Amino acid sequence: MRFWVVVILLFFTAVLGFSQEEGSALSDDWYQGKPIREIQFAGLRNVQHSELEALMNPYRGRIFTDAVFWDIQGRLYALEYFDRIEPSTRPANASGDEVIIRFNVTERPVIGRINFIGNSNLRRSELLDVITSGISDIFNQAKVRLDIDAIINKYLEKGFTNVRVTSSETNTGDSSVTLNFHITEGEQISISRIEFQGNTRFTASTLRSQLSLKAKSLLNNGAFQEARLIADRETITRYYHDRGYIDAIVRDVTRTTETTERGSSLVLTFLIDEGSEFRFGGITFSGNSLFSSDQLQRLVSSRTGDIINRAKLEADMQRVADLYYENGYIFNSFSRVEARNTETNTISFAITITERSRAYIESITIVGNQRTNDNVILREIPLEPGDVFSRTKIMEAMRNLYNLQYFSMVIPETLPGSTENLMDLVFTFEEQMTTDLQFGLTFSGVADPDTFPISGLFKWTDRNLAGTGNELGAEINTSVIDTSTFSINYLHRWLLGMPFSLGVDFSANYNNRLALMDNQPPFFYGDEDYAFPDGFTSREEYEDTGIPTRDYLMNYEQWYISTGISSGYRWMTPLGIFGLNGGMRFGIVQNIYKNDLYRPFDPALRAGNNTWMPKNSLWLSLSLDQRDIFYDPSNGYYLYERLGLYGILNNEREHYMRSDTKVQYFLTLFNFQVTESWSFKSVLALHMGVSFLFSQPFRPDALTVEESNKLAVDGMFNARGWRSEYRSRKGFMLFDSWIELRFPIVQNFIALDLFFDAAGVETKQGDYFWGGNFTEENLRFSFGGSLRLALPQFPIRLSLAKRFRIEDGQVLWQAGDLFHDSTRPTSGMDLVFSIVMSY
């Protein structure tokens, strides 16, 4: 009734309310057919002009007609911001050839306060979380009705099955209202017992463990929910079907109320008809000509004579269907006929396949990309119009698109094409921010423990520059005390329509470092096996102790200015994405210290002091990547090999080659859906790497490596917690391995990891393995737990590590700074900040 009153008033207002504020000589309908110059509002107090401007912009310049006016006014009323809207018109100029529409509005009140009355079992904050109305919102009766439903559902989740909720509003006299929700909670019904009748094959405790509903206990409130009861009936039925009782049903669930001095409680009784146990009698196929029956039989994991498992059987059928789908036969139909033998209690299945022609892609449509160019998306989809449909390639496209990190959602859909064998492929996207701006104090994450770990950071990166898929970034990072870095980089991901990348960058680095000295006799050249720096009396003492006192360390400054060029190409293969990358870096470096005061122990550091010298390098890498998401994998593997040549010209300070080999493997161990939006998941992650420094083939006798560039256990990226090793044991071979059990808390955002690390360095060149120099005594071990941010923009990891090493077959536990007990010298753990490395 109220609706029709508003419509009638609206009609008379429109007909009679148009007035001419100026130009009374004009006819009553002068505005008809005139362009709309402006739409103005009067009476706004809480509603923003900008919000209405965005709604009205499409109508400016349009010709005024009754239909246009009713459309405008209908949109305004649909906002539900106004109780009354009075329109009027006036000429925009003296000639009256344009019209201005003016709306004098009376706003609905805003919500000044929200009260919950009668809620004794649920806190105010819990109820505020479920409603959509908020303080300062325009009062909207439709939203309030939805809020009432949301409050009721919240109470039902807690077991208040008789809850009642109403609302009222109180005018406060200042264009605002107080919104009141009146709640009659009723009695909370909790489950006291869950029983079963008719179960002879499985015990009540076994069946009870399958249920989401639980009886009231110390750890569970026993709240009853109707939705969970429906799901639990299906769970029990499925449990029987997967264990051979495929006729089993939950005939009913009775509810009995028990009343004691503590209140009422509910007893649930599941009435079960189990039926007989059946075994699998086999599958036969007919109608299949594209694939032989033997091929299809090999996809069936169920074995004749096994207890029949409905879930396993359905998975077998899906594998058969997937074989056709993967080859483009998506229009086939599969019919299944069940044959029972009640004497032997076996069930056989006859599968009839109706084969049809392959499906071809008629078109690929992109929807939802407001910023990213279509071609950037299409080049990541390994399908084109005219190709045979492939589910594998669609999954590959989704992986490629998610790895771009441009989209928070990618949904592929298949729709019928213009003819029987054609289909349209539609990708719907939800974009996310691709421009990152970071500034402030941050943990630098550098691998050198000598540097001050806190630095000031300004970093800007656009990973999808103007929607082209290219990247531009700049960074300034300085601790003021000992490190400063400036860099700017550009990456062009696709050239000439191919996945051929080209990147250029420029960087300037300043470091104030500490170095070992050889100021006191005996003096060493620095590459002798027996050499040791000041502060030690032998090589063995140096390797065991590692860090001398500050009196035996010198300061030196290093400036390094360089520019780099890199390129790469990637191929999609059945084994994964194969990548070939290479690059070169050209720069100049200067080390600065006082020659008359210091003599560094490192011979490479002694060369060319206080002089700008060239520092150039070349590198080449190969990779094979089958990970699902590279920055937080759940499945797949990654193989990586990088070979670098450092020192191209004869007058450079360093001449060496470096090889890095890495292997990683990821496997989801389990993934249990706990709620609609969260699952309990565990991922096994394995990593093994080995790096070598060796002489260049055309300079076999000129292996010179600055001490800071030698390989080391850093205690942050490998062997977490062993930071003391960075200075004392630098060498020519590094073995690095870890195993992690990862438990995502928020998928692709934050995770809890349990880890075990083993890494070690060999300081002498030569035979490293199989009876060589490298033994278990070189290894440094640690284990513990980490909180890891899986965001590519902020990949920080915080770990607690317990360290040990092995000597003469004995485990030697190491003291830690945290939780250390002075009465137990080897107690305590180490806190480690690090960056999560992705390749």
Higher pLDDT, 456 or 687: 687
Query: Do 236 and 94 have their domain in common?
Result: no
How high is the pLDDT of residue 626? Answer: 93
pLDDT, one tens digit per residue, over 799-813 is 999 999 999 889 999
Query: Do 159 and 298 have their domain in common?
Result: no
Instruction: Give the global pTM.
Output: 0.61
The percentage of residues in the chain with a pLDDT greater than 70, rounded to a whole number, is 92
We report the CATH number of the domain holding residue 99 as 3.10.20.310
Query: CB 50: neighbour CB atoms within 10 A?
Result: 7
746-761 average pLDDT score = 91
pLDDT, one tens digit per residue, over 603-658 is 888 877 888 999 999 999 999 999 988 888 999 999 999 999 999 999 898 999 99
**Residue 80: pLDDT band with limits 50, 70, 90:** confident
Query: Do 677 and 812 have their domain in common?
Result: yes
Helix-, strand-, coil-residue percentages of the chain, each rounded to 5: 20, 45, 40
Q: Could you give the residue ranges of the DSSP H alpha helices within 492-601?
A: 539-545
Least confident of 10-19, 252-261, 555-564: 10-19
176-186 average pLDDT score = 92
pLDDT, one tens digit per residue, over 89-125 is 889 888 888 999 999 988 888 898 999 999 988 999 9
Query: Do 299 and 420 have their domain in common?
Result: no
Where are the strands (E) in 601-749, listed by range?
A: 613-614, 617-625, 636-646, 656-673, 679-694, 711-712, 730-731, 733-746
Q: Please say if the pLDDT value at position 526 is more than 90.
A: no
How high is the pLDDT of residue 47? Answer: 81
How high is the pLDDT of residue 232? Answer: 94
Question: What are the Cα distances from residue 574, in Å, to 49, 230, 323?
Answer: 57, 43, 16
pLDDT, one tens digit per residue, over 545-593 is 667 888 889 989 999 999 999 999 999 888 989 999 999 999 999 999 9
474-497 average pLDDT score = 88
Residue 447 falls inside a structural domain = no
Least confident of 376-380, 433-437, 675-679: 675-679
Query: Do 700 and 835 have their domain in common?
Result: yes
How high is the pLDDT of residue 16? Answer: 41
Residue 567 falls inside a structural domain = no
What's the mean pLDDT when you consider all of the chain? 87
Burial of 751 (0-12, 13-18, 19+ CB in 10 A): buried
How high is the pLDDT of residue 659? Answer: 97
**Residue 53: pLDDT band with limits 50, 70, 90:** confident
How high is the pLDDT of residue 741? Answer: 97
Residue 591 falls inside a structural domain = no
pLDDT, one tens digit per residue, over 28-47 is 678 888 899 999 999 888 78
Query: Do 268 and 144 have their domain in common?
Result: no
Contact present, 161 and 266 (Cβ < 8 Å)? no
755-765 average pLDDT score = 92
How high is the pLDDT of residue 451? Answer: 53
* Calpha distance 635→629 (Å, rounded): 8
Q: Please say if the pLDDT value at position 479 is more than 90.
A: no
Residue 734 falls inside a structural domain = yes
**Residue that terminates a domain, selected from 397, 425, 453:** 425
705-711 average pLDDT score = 87
Number of domains in the chain: 6
How high is the pLDDT of residue 6? Answer: 46
Residue 481 falls inside a structural domain = no
**Residue 281: pLDDT band with limits 50, 70, 90:** very high
* Calpha distance 47→24 (Å, rounded): 32
**Residue that terminates a domain, selected from 425, 446, 480:** 425
Q: Please say if the pLDDT value at position 22 is more than 70.
A: no
- Which two three-digit tokens encode residue 765? 């060149």
Higher pLDDT, 8 or 685: 685
How high is the pLDDT of residue 225? Answer: 83
Q: Which domain holds residue 200?
A: 190-273
**Residue 349: pLDDT band with limits 50, 70, 90:** very high
**Residue that terminates a domain, selected from 298, 327, 354:** 354
We report the CATH number of the domain holding residue 715 as 2.40.160.50
Q: Please say if the pLDDT value at position 11 is more than 50.
A: no
How high is the pLDDT of residue 8? Answer: 47
